[in-house]
Amino acid sequence: MARVVGLVAYHVFKESVRDKVLYNLVLFAVLLIGGSYLVGQLTAGQDIKIIKDLGLAASSLFGLFIAVFIGVGLVWKEVDRRSVYNLLVKPVRRHEFILGKFLGLALTLLVNIAVMAAALYAVLALMSWLRPEIGRAGGVEAPVLDPRLLKAFGLLYAQLLVVTSVALFFSTFAGPLMSAAFTFGLYVVGHFNEDLAHFEDVVQSPAAGWLGKALYYLLPNLAPFDVKLAAVHGREVPNLYCALTAGYGLLYIAAMLALAVVIFQRRDFK
Amino acid sequence: MLALETDRLTKDYAVGFWRRRPYRALDGLSLQVEAGEVFGLLGPNGAGKTTTLKLLMELIYPTSGRIAILGHPPGHPEVRRRAGFLPEAPYFYDYLTAEELLSYFAGLFGLRDGARRARVAALLDLVGIGGERRLALRKCSKGMLQRVGLAQALLNEPDLVFLDEPMSGLDPLGRRDVRAIVLGLRDRGCTVVFSSHILSDAEALCSRVGILVGGRLVAAGRLSDMLAFEVEGWELVMAGLDEAALGALGSRVRRATPLGGGRYAIELPPVDDPDCAVAGLRARGGRLVSLNPMRATLEDYFVRQVEARAGGPAAGRTVPER
């Protein structure tokens, strides 16, 4: 099973490389370096914080676009173009196909996040080398090359994997437009999910309260993955918090993939 | 030994947007194919040929009925390991070359490194893909994709191979190559089931055929049983004739078609002695161009079957509500 899943995953990664998806990294680097230069011209004392903010926000945005736009096509494209006919008649079971597709995009995202993190550190190092005084400037609570940024990148990656699993789930039965709309919708809702847990406090109807509670558990809760602010300000993010959040992400991903497999397993390829 | 057996295989699709109702694409197909034979699944467009092949490869699931492939249900690991499939108008990953695609698929069968490279190279040679094997598939012609499709169906040296319209998109040379490959497969004991509406291919390759019309199997059997091979008449083409000379043959002529330049195609009944007719026409200045016996073709048989069913109960096929 591992060989088959690995082969499918490797070819998803290969496709994204050949389709020049990784070119987004060039755009990211240009944005980061250009942004840093501008920040250096415009701000005083806050340069490092803003560059970190910019780097993490850009990584999040670029990662989200890759997760959604490639994720929604992972299965749909294969079915629509009928390339799935050649694959599923070989010794590839449908759940292996789904798992391979997910892991392939997970690998693409990993490379993206890793390169973007490295680029951010490189720009920060360059800035502190060119202008050593900024590291000592007032208002900067964290070291320039703060290793805690890695936790933010790690949780961002986990969040993107959750988004990928949601996109892939929709991709098993819906077209790309609808899947992208649903996934973006859930991404937005996922950042305000905490409010649904306390919905009963603000509504009169108990039914609406229960509905809010049900949606809280059903929809992905993405806000805990976002520790950008803490990382930028040099606040500690406990390891236990990271592990629990990643664990929640893993469970959610498993549930999404299981649902995707259930739907895909019985699907007719007309 | 049976390579393939289906028993009352039926497939309904739900059609309609608001009020979903079943549409019967395949209706009670019972079929048996012996190991080592070349079986042709024939029928007009929409007859259910592709539906049948997809059911056999478990790309769709039957509404009812039973399938046994090499003694196993479809989708069984043994079937995936030992069967090959060429879908109709195959589409492959744009970003790969033919060589990379076959290498990917060979890996799925567990072929590694040297064995994989050797198998891929041999198959690309077999289907006639030379330097183009390193060309991105997005740049390949339809005929080349068909050849790649055939190659990927044979990667695992299958015991049973299903080919959906294998001649589609091929030029005459390509069709000749595919015929040779199918005959080669037969010679090594591989069972071949292919769908086609090109009857001359079926006639050249198949030991048995089944004819599907409107989702139902209307005829199945050996070609020799289906077609009367006795002569149904004679067609002779004579040059240098005129109306008067033709008139001399009288009622013996079933049909005479002028071909221009004093040439006529003349049909004579089977009981007539063509030598006698030729001698008579020669005496009136005619010259023999050709003389051929007329036999029923698979096409004649096919047309008769399709026409007979055109107004029959199988046509339409929305499943009646109970």
> Who among B87, B95, B108 is closest to A19 (CB)?
B95
**Do B153 and B200 reside in the same domain of the chain?**
yes
Q: Which residues of A touch B58 (CB under 8 A)?
A: 88-89
Q: Does B308 reside within a domain?
A: no
Flag whether residue A91 sits within 8 Å of chain B, measured between CB atoms.
Answer: yes
> Beta partners for B318?
B23
**Do B216 and B237 reside in the same domain of the chain?**
no
**Do B265 and B118 reside in the same domain of the chain?**
no
Flag whether residue B23 sits within 8 Å of chain A, measured between CB atoms.
Answer: no
Q: What is the mean pLDDT of residues B110-116?
A: 90
Sorting pLDDT into bands at 50, 70 and 90, what band is B318?
A: low
CA distance B220 to chain A (A): 26
- Tell me what pLDDT residue A211 has: 86
- Tell me what pLDDT residue B317 has: 58
- Tell me what pLDDT residue B204 has: 83
**Do B289 and B160 reside in the same domain of the chain?**
no
Q: Does A76 reside within a domain?
A: yes
Searching chain A, which residue's CA lies closest to the CA of residue B91? A83
Distance between CA B318 and CA B322 in Å, rounded?
A: 12
| Range of lowest pLDDT (A35-44, A101-110, A240-249) | A35-44
- Tell me what pLDDT residue B256 has: 86
The answer to whether residue B322 scores a pLDDT higher than 60 is no
Distance between CA B175 and CA B282 in Å, rounded?
A: 41
Mean pLDDT, all residues of chain A? 88
- Tell me what pLDDT residue A136 has: 60
**Do B170 and B237 reside in the same domain of the chain?**
no
**Do B244 and B180 reside in the same domain of the chain?**
no
- Tell me what pLDDT residue A43 has: 67
Residues A208-227 have pLDDT tens digits of 888 888 888 899 999 999 99
Q: Which of A129, A49, A269 is nearest to B57 (CA)?
A: A269
CB B174 within 8 A of CB B145: no
Q: What is the mean pLDDT of residues B88-96?
A: 89
User: For chain A, what is the domain count?
Assistant: 1
Q: Does A270 reside within a domain?
A: no
**Do B92 and B192 reside in the same domain of the chain?**
yes
> Who among B61, B87, B91 is closest to A268 (CB)?
B61
Q: Does B127 reside within a domain?
A: yes
CA distance A15 to chain B (A): 6
> Who among A11, A86, A269 is closest to B152 (CB)?
A86
Subunit contact A91:B83, Cβ cutoff 8 A: no
Distance between CA A237 and CA A142 in Å, rounded?
A: 13
User: For chain B, what is the domain count?
Assistant: 2
In the block, residue with structure tokens 């033709």:
B246
Q: Which residues of B touch A83 (CB under 8 A)?
A: 91-93
Q: Does A161 reside within a domain?
A: yes
CA distance B79 to chain A (A): 9
- Tell me what pLDDT residue B228 has: 61
Kindly indicate whether the ipTM for this predicted assembly is greater than 0.90, answering yes or no.
no
Q: How many helices (H) and strands (E) does chain A have?
A: 13, 0
Q: Which residues of A touch B149 (CB under 8 A)?
A: 86
How do B160-164 and B83-86 pair as beta strands? parallel
Q: Which residues of A touch B91 (CB under 8 A)?
A: 81-83
Q: Which residues of B touch A269 (CB under 8 A)?
A: 54, 59-60
H or E element, residue B5: strand B2-15
Searching chain A, which residue's CA lies closest to the CA of residue B104? A7
Flag whether residue A268 sits within 8 Å of chain B, measured between CB atoms.
Answer: yes
- Tell me what pLDDT residue A199 has: 77
User: For the packed helices A94-130 and A149-171, what is the interaxial angle rounded to 10 degrees?
Assistant: 150
Q: Does B317 reside within a domain?
A: no
Alpha carbons within 13 angstroms on the beta-carbon side of residue B185 total 35
Q: What is the mean pLDDT of residues A63-77?
A: 91
> How many beta carbons lie within 10 A of that of residue A29, not counting itself?
17
> Who among A86, A90, A270 is closest to B92 (CB)?
A86
Subunit contact A270:B60, Cβ cutoff 8 A: yes
Distance between CA B321 and CA B64 in Å, rounded?
A: 17
Alpha carbons within 13 angstroms on the beta-carbon side of residue A155 total 26
CATH number at residue B33: 3.40.50.300
| Range of lowest pLDDT (A108-122, A196-210, B147-161, B252-266) | A196-210
Sorting pLDDT into bands at 50, 70 and 90, what band is B315?
A: very low
Residue B264's SS3 state is strand
Searching chain B, which residue's CA lies closest to the CA of residue A96? B108
CA angle B12, B16, B20 (to 5 degrees): 65
Q: Does B197 reside within a domain?
A: yes
Q: What is the mean pLDDT of residues A156-180?
A: 95
CB B189 within 8 A of CB B36: yes
Sorting pLDDT into bands at 50, 70 and 90, what band is B313?
A: very low
| Range of lowest pLDDT (A228-237, B122-131, B236-245, B293-302) | B293-302
Distance between CA A266 and CA A264 in Å, rounded?
A: 6
Subunit contact A83:B91, Cβ cutoff 8 A: yes
Residues B19-42 have pLDDT tens digits of 788 889 999 999 999 999 999 998
**Do B91 and B181 reside in the same domain of the chain?**
yes
CATH number at residue B263: 3.30.70.3400
Length of chain A: 270
Distance between CA A132 and CA A139 in Å, rounded?
A: 15
Q: Which residues of B touch A90 (CB under 8 A)?
A: 80, 105, 108-109, 156
The answer to whether residue B127 scores a pLDDT higher than 80 is yes
**Do B73 and B46 reside in the same domain of the chain?**
yes
Residues A85-142 have pLDDT tens digits of 999 999 999 999 999 999 999 999 999 999 989 988 988 888 888 777 766 654 556 7
Flag whether residue A81 sits within 8 Å of chain B, measured between CB atoms.
Answer: yes
DSSP string covering A176-228, please?
A: HHHHHHHHHHHHHHHHTHHHHHTHHHH-S-HHHHHHHHHHHHHS---GGG--H
**Do B272 and B130 reside in the same domain of the chain?**
no
Q: By residue range, what is the domain housing residue A201?
A: 2-265
Flag whether residue A14 sits within 8 Å of chain B, measured between CB atoms.
Answer: yes
Q: By residue range, what is the domain housing residue B110?
A: 2-222
- Tell me what pLDDT residue A53 has: 87
How do B208-213 and B38-42 pair as beta strands? parallel
Name which residue leads in pLDDT, B216 or A144: B216
Subunit contact A91:B108, Cβ cutoff 8 A: yes
Mean pLDDT, all residues of chain B? 87
Cβ-based neighbours of A167, under 8 Å, separated by 6 or more: A67, A68, A71, A72, A74, A179, A180, A183
- Tell me what pLDDT residue B117 has: 93
The answer to whether residue B48 scores a pLDDT higher than 80 is yes
Q: Which domain-ending residue is among B198, B222, B246?
A: B222
User: For the packed helices A47-71 and A176-191, what is the interaxial angle rounded to 10 degrees?
Assistant: 140
The answer to whether residue B320 scores a pLDDT higher than 70 is no
- Tell me what pLDDT residue A100 has: 96
Amino acid at B7: D
> How many beta carbons lie within 10 A of that of residue B28, not counting itself?
16
**Do B239 and B198 reside in the same domain of the chain?**
no
Q: Which residues of A touch B84 (CB under 8 A)?
A: 89
Subunit contact A86:B109, Cβ cutoff 8 A: no
Q: Which residues of B touch A266 (CB under 8 A)?
A: 61
Subunit contact A92:B59, Cβ cutoff 8 A: no
The answer to whether residue B160 scores a pLDDT higher than 70 is yes
CA distance A64 to chain B (A): 23
Q: Does B321 reside within a domain?
A: no
Flag whether residue A4 sits within 8 Å of chain B, measured between CB atoms.
Answer: yes
**Do B37 and B155 reside in the same domain of the chain?**
yes
Distance between CA A201 and CA A198 in Å, rounded?
A: 6
Which parts of B154-297 fold into alpha helices (H)? Answer: 172-187, 199-205, 223-226, 243-247, 274-283
Flag whether residue A86 sits within 8 Å of chain B, measured between CB atoms.
Answer: yes
CA distance A6 to chain B (A): 10
Q: Which residues of B touch A81 (CB under 8 A)?
A: 91
